[in-house]
A and B are shown apart, each in its own frame.
Chain A
């Protein structure tokens, strides 16, 4: 424990700015993964244990696209689109078969694909870790704001994530599809009674979730090393996020992600050896205080 480091940082603006932004950066990537998780749970009532794999595929797709084309934009696009398609297929072909069955069966199917996907990646891209490399456009000096250091690339990253959050929020609240999705979440029977193809909605939501995770992976690819099983630690963290925020709540995912981000960035100052423990501790506390998470609806 090193509390004076923490208090020292809280005293200086420079440190505050930097640590807060680094918290934001960690949080935002986490949010992209977690929000997909929470969407899928909210609508399909499925705990998508294989969500980390989509993050992984996003990163690998992006890397390959980038190495082939050299275009960063294209890399992002491939990462997102590829995983979206993957998600759609995965849901239609496999998950849709186990909706009736109990939760554990669904979990088991996901678990099976965690194993399969990891090995597929190992076959295709090899067991060694890879790196996509930072596109030249972003190889520039970091910005200094109020004494805090912020790399331009991370500004982009935060921007993308925030706009995603915005689009999702508005989309679900305003658009017709959004309304249908929310309706499907609450009462699938009614929706199908209205003659709307629930299968399509489920597939769509899964694709969306996969797309978001893939995008997160793609955005992370330039700064994080790629390796089979890389999705796992991210998965666990985004689980913590969704549980803290409340399964099924998008706002919850956002807040939860930011909280975890900040816990990490400031925890690493105050408790260098127990940063991870802090997250679990926080999760336990939240669950005990509010079993359905900060923004989750109480299940009667």
Chain B
């Protein structure tokens, strides 16, 4: 196997290494002059378990950017999206983000990462000071936590806390009506799952004080089999179940819970159910699952929203996802902000973005707002309803009231020591 080596080899190969490195990297990477077209970089997850996050985000961004370019681009500059796969690894996300700015000359970033990746990109934005819009990460602390706050990073994404407030009040009403006192929760064991569940129960109890949670389960993210969780919950015999499982995990869970006839034994509140990714996949979708809306083209029930959903489906032959509308919103906000700032300069655009309200098909009242204080999205359509097995899947959605949401969110922030 190993032979003992003459030092000669090591020297030669060292030098070879160095020169090789030099040659490879000298050529492509010479700083370019600012081009007429403006490049926007986007690290996201295009491969592996959650590739759908990246693909549906990319689809939405490109769909909207085509409109922007057709309308003359950003401040007269045509937009070129540079979208790369981070494979869901934070160090790759960070590296790609830096490379997009430093090498490919991107002047802005869309961060299409989830969880840890988004925090990695956030650090890059902090380091390089480039304008960055988080378009996928729902982790509350990303914008709520002042330690995280940087002036050049925004978020065009719904948040667990908002869902929980609306969901909590919605569920409490039903709990009161149907006398659901014993609750169980089942959430994926990672930050999003833990926080959202905690907040949901917080507000559920606030609106319906006599509710008690008698069983909690924490399956791993991407766990293939939930049987033990399902049976555990059946043992506890709760009257209602809350779960914030999403995507493939949710469909697995439903399929596996179905054959235990779980849905006939309790009311189920699955916040991430009302998304086409889940709705269209589950073959025998049980009737009457309560869910928050992710993206459905029937809510908000406006022609704009329906039109957008159809346009997307027409182009990509699949329905948009929750990630799709969030990314589309990012583009709309950016376009509007650039128009307002009449410049593509990152700082000016950031200033314009702060507190910006735009018309938007996904707005609760037809508009969404980039809240100035924590630079995150509010006013988007949010509500809960019950599912039916076929289109439109969620016939009636009760819209949440943003006034209450914002009051309670402020309270929550205080309790977290964020303000």
Q: Which residues of A contact B (CB under 8 A)?
A: 5, 9, 14-15, 18-19, 21-23, 25-26, 29, 118-119, 122, 127-134, 138-139, 141-142, 149, 151-154, 220, 222-225, 227-230, 233-234, 264-265, 268-269, 272-273, 275-276
Contacts and interface: CB of A to CB of B under 8 A. Distances in A.
B258 A134 contact: yes
B76 interface: no
B313 interface: no
Contacts of B46: 127
Contacts of A19: 228, 231-232, 235
B210 interface: no
Contact of B259 (A9, A129, A138): A138
Given A139-B284, A229-B48, A22 B261 contact: no
Nearest to B222: A233
B216 A272 contact: yes
18 contacts: A15-B235, A19-B232, A19-B235, A26-B225, A26-B228, A131-B252, A133-B255, A134-B255, A138-B259, A139-B284, A142-B259, A142-B260, A223-B256, A225-B248, A228-B48, A228-B51, A229-B49, A233-B223
Contacts of B390: none
Interface of B: 46-49, 51-52, 54-55, 189, 215-220, 222-225, 227-232, 234-235, 247-249, 251-252, 255-256, 258-261, 277, 281-284, 318
Instruction: Identify the 7 closest CB pairs spanning chains A and B, nearest first.
Output: A133-B283, A127-B51, A129-B248, A225-B248, A151-B259, A265-B228, A22-B227
Contacts of A118: 47-48
Nearest to B1: A102
B260 A149 contact: yes
Q: Dominant SS at the A interface?
A: helix
Nearest to A266: B228
Given A9-B235, A26-B227, A134 B284 contact: yes
B262 to A, nearest CB: 9
Given A29-B225, A224-B252, A272-B217, A128 B284 contact: no
A19 to B, nearest CB: 6
Contacts of A265: 227-228, 231
B249 A22 contact: no
B284 A133 contact: yes
A62 B44 CA distance: 31
A141 B261 contact: yes
Given A142-B260, A154-B259, A224 B225 contact: yes
Given A18-B235, A222-B255, A230 B224 contact: yes
A22 B228 contact: yes
A26 B231 CA distance: 12
B281 A149 contact: no
A222 B248 CA distance: 13
B283 A233 contact: no
Contacts of B277: 128-129
A230 B235 CA distance: 29
Contact of B249 (A14, A15, A152, A225): A225
A151 to B, nearest CB: 4
B62 to A, nearest CB: 16
A22 B219 CA distance: 15
Nearest to A267: B228
Nearest to B230: A22
A194 to B, nearest CB: 33
Given A229-B49, A273-B218, 7 more contacts: A22-B231, A127-B47, A127-B55, A128-B51, A134-B255, A139-B259, A142-B259
B125 to A, nearest CB: 27
A128 B318 contact: yes
Contacts of B251: 129, 131, 225
A132 B283 CA distance: 7
Given A129-B251, A222-B255, A276 B284 contact: no
Contact of B228 (A119, A141, A268): A268
B285 to A, nearest CB: 10
Contact of B282 (A131, A141, A149, A220): A131
A222 B252 CA distance: 9
A224 B255 contact: yes
Contacts of A229: 48-49
A183 B224 CA distance: 37
A134 B216 contact: no
A156 to B, nearest CB: 11
B407 to A, nearest CB: 32
Given A142-B260, A229-B49, A268-B229, A131 B255 contact: yes
A234 B251 CA distance: 18
Given A127-B52, A139-B284, A122 B227 contact: no
Nearest to A269: B232
B51 to A, nearest CB: 3
B189 A273 contact: yes
Contacts of A14: 235
A68 to B, nearest CB: 15
